């Protein structure tokens, strides 16, 4: 009989260690906000497949749309024989674009692929090559996206040299003592010391850093970057791979600031668990690449497009943007209560817009030193409780909460109770 233990043994023998796995439990089935493993143990899912499942596991509307598409056809390659679901989805996404004027969208398969192509489009549109990114940012594991990612271990370790033309700025994080003024001074220094403005194609930023620790980009930073971009003909790219599709209490995370990007990359929750990504951008910019310069064999899979159209319907009809804000307010209130207890691990910096929420675990109450080991104890204790929980952050001491936005209230209550017990157990 298949079990977690037997599958883990097979996994070790068959799969390289370069693809890390958080827990040695194997999914057998999932519904909504719950997962059952190969030993038939039940878990409440606060990880959401790393922000992929805003509409939950196997949402009925998504599954019905996929089944209907399966009965029609599964693949033609859009570059050979195009199909309506691709066009219809691009039309829907263009209407949602968080900027004024005409928009166009191109579809791909993964978040990293979307970022790679956003860089290609920016370079084609500007005739420039330089790209500015941020320390702590995460943009993917392909060669260009590794270069953009602002963390060496584990993402760049052993894989150098990275592609050239990429520059990093410090990301403003209050608890780390980095301000928006510090970031803008670093940008000024970069322009004086390393690359002139006229050679920069784009600045790419996550509206909320994902793997870097769920740190929101301050509105005044985004406003300042927009001003610099406008002054020097630089494009502003919002990497919305993790922040998109209602997670932050807006359809796209950058909408919380009111700042308009030129391009945005999308993936993860776009298709409710099916691999799909894309780039949405101003029409004149998106048309800069020559025919044949963009695309991919599986890019914009008809199955995934059908799923994505259903996801957009679910977000609208189930009011998941409002739900994200209501969930977030409630969860942050609960976390504040947990932090006030004297028997949990020390908690601080509860943060995040909508339901993109995180907090830090420290070595002492009122202190500043991160505690990565205690963070691991929390996630392990949560797993023992039957709760899938993820950590992140450049110091490995951030707990992030990414439960489906469709989670029923009783399951949310149960999950938060499990989290509270894990925070106490990890302090023992």
Together in a domain, 344 and 377 = yes
336 shares a domain with 306: no
> Does residue 65 lie within any of the structural domains?
no
> Is there a single domain that holds both residue 210 and residue 335?
no
Asked if 229 and 365 sit in the same domain, the reply is no
Say whether both 346 and 309 belong to one domain.
no
What is the C-alpha to C-alpha distance for residues 210 and 56, in angstroms, rounded to an integer?
Answer: 19
Task: Judge whether residue 247 has pLDDT over 80.
Answer: yes
pLDDT per residue as tens digits for the range 120-131: 999 999 999 999
What is the Cα–Cα distance from 427 to 345, expressed in whole angstroms?
5
Give every CB contact of residue 347 below 8 A, 6+ residues apart in sequence: 335, 338, 339, 359, 360, 361, 362, 423
pLDDT digits (tens, 9 = 90+) for 47-68: 999 999 999 999 999 999 999 9
User: Are 287 and 393 in the same domain?
Assistant: no
- Identify whether residues 377 and 361 lie together within a single domain: yes
Q: Is the same domain home to 102 and 130?
A: yes
pLDDT at position 403: 98
Q: Give how far the C-alpha of residue 225 lies from the chain's centroid of Cα atoms, to the nearest Å.
A: 21
Q: Identify the three-state secondary structure at position 326.
A: helix
Distance from the Cα of residue 322 to its chain's centroid: 19
Residue 227 region by backbone torsions, left for phi larger than 0, else alpha for psi between -120 and 50, else beta: alpha
In angstroms, the CA 2 to CA 17 distance is: 22
pLDDT at 248: 98
Q: Do 138 and 224 fall into the same domain?
A: yes
Is 286 within a domain? yes
Domain boundary among 317, 343, 376: 317
* Domain boundary residue, one of 282, 317, 352: 317
Cβ atoms of 375 and 363 within 8 Å: the answer is no
Asked if 86 and 107 count as a contact pair (C-beta separation under 8 A), the reply is: yes
Q: Which domain holds residue 290?
A: 73-317
Q: 44 lies in a domain?
A: yes
Q: Does the predicted TM-score (pTM) go above 0.75?
A: yes
Is the pLDDT reported for residue 99 higher than 90?
A: yes
SS3 399: strand
228/68 Cα distance (integer angstroms): 47
Reported as a pLDDT band with limits 50, 70 and 90, residue 160 is confident
In a domain, 68, yes or no: no
Distance CA 140, CA 160 (A): 15
Does pLDDT of 27 surpass 80?
yes
Residue 45 and residue 388 in contact, taking contact as beta carbons nearer than 8 Å: yes
- Judge whether 53 and 269 are in contact, CB under 8 Å: yes
Q: Are residues 182 and 241 in the same domain?
A: yes
The span from the CA of 400 to the CA of 355, in Å, is 10
Q: Give the integer Cα–Cα distance in Å for 38 and 28.
A: 5
Model confidence at 326: pLDDT above 80: yes
* 358 domain residue, yes or no: yes
Residue 63 lies in a domain: no
Dist. CA 215–CA 293, nearest whole Å: 35
d(CA 186, CA 307): 42
- Distance between CA atoms of residues 199 and 166, nearest Å: 11
**Which of 317, 348, 375 is the endpoint of a domain?**
317
Say how many domains are in the chain: 2
CATH number for 404: 3.90.1150.10
In a 13 Å sphere around the CA of 322, the CA atoms on its Cβ side amount to 5
């Amino acid at each position: 009989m298949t079990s977690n233990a037997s599958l883990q043994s097979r996994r070790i023998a068959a799969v390289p260690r370069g693809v890390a796995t958080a827990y040695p439990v194997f999914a057998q089935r999932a519904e909504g906000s719950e997962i059952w493993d190969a030993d038939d143990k039940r878990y409440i899912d606060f990880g959401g497949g790393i922000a992929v499942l805003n509409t939950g596991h196997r949402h009925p509307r998504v599954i019905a749309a996929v089944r209907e598409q399966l009965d029609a056809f599964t693949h033609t390659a859009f570059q050979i024989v195009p199909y309506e679901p691709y066009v219809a989805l691009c039309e829907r996404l263009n209407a949602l674009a968080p900027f004024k004027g005409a928009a166009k969208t191109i579809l791909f398969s993964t978040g990293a692929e979307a970022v790679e192509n956003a860089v290609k489009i920016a370079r084609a549109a500007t005739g420039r090559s330089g790209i500015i990114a941020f320390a702590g940012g995460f943009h993917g594991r392909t060669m260009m996206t590794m270069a953009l990612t602002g963390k060496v271990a584990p993402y760049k370790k052993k894989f150098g040299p990275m592609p050239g033309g990429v520059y990093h700025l410090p990301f403003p994080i209050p608890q780390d003592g980095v301000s928006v003024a510090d970031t803008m001074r670093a940008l000024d220094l970069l322009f004086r010391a390393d690359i002139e403005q006229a050679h920069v194609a784009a600045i790419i930023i996550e509206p909320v850093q994902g793997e870097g620790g769920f740190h929101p980009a301050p509105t005044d930073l985004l406003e300042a970057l927009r001003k610099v971009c406008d002054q020097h003909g630089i494009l502003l790219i919002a990497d919305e791979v993790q922040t998109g599709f209602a997670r932050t209490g807006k359809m796209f995370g950058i909408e919380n600031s009111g700042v308009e990007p030129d391009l945005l990359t999308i993936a993860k929750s776009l298709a409710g668990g099916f691999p799909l990504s894309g780039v949405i951008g101003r029409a004149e910019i998106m048309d800069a690449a020559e025919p044949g310069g963009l695309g991919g064999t599986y890019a914009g899979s008809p199955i995934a497009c059908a799923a994505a159209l259903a996801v957009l319907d679910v977000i609208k009809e189930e009011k998941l943007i409002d739900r994200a804000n209501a969930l977030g307010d409630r969860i942050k209130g609960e976390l504040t209560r947990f932090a006030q207890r004297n028997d949990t691990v020390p908690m601080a910096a509860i943060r995040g817009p909508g339901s993109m929420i995180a907090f830090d675990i420290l070595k002492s109450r009122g202190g500043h030193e991160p505690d990565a080991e205690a963070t691991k104890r929390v996630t392990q204790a949560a797993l023992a409780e039957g709760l899938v929980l993820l950590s992140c952050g450049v110091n490995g001491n951030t707990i992030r909460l990414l439960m489906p936005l469709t989670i029923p209230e009783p399951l949310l209550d149960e999950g938060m109770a499990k989290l509270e017990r894990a925070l106490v157990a990890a302090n023992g």
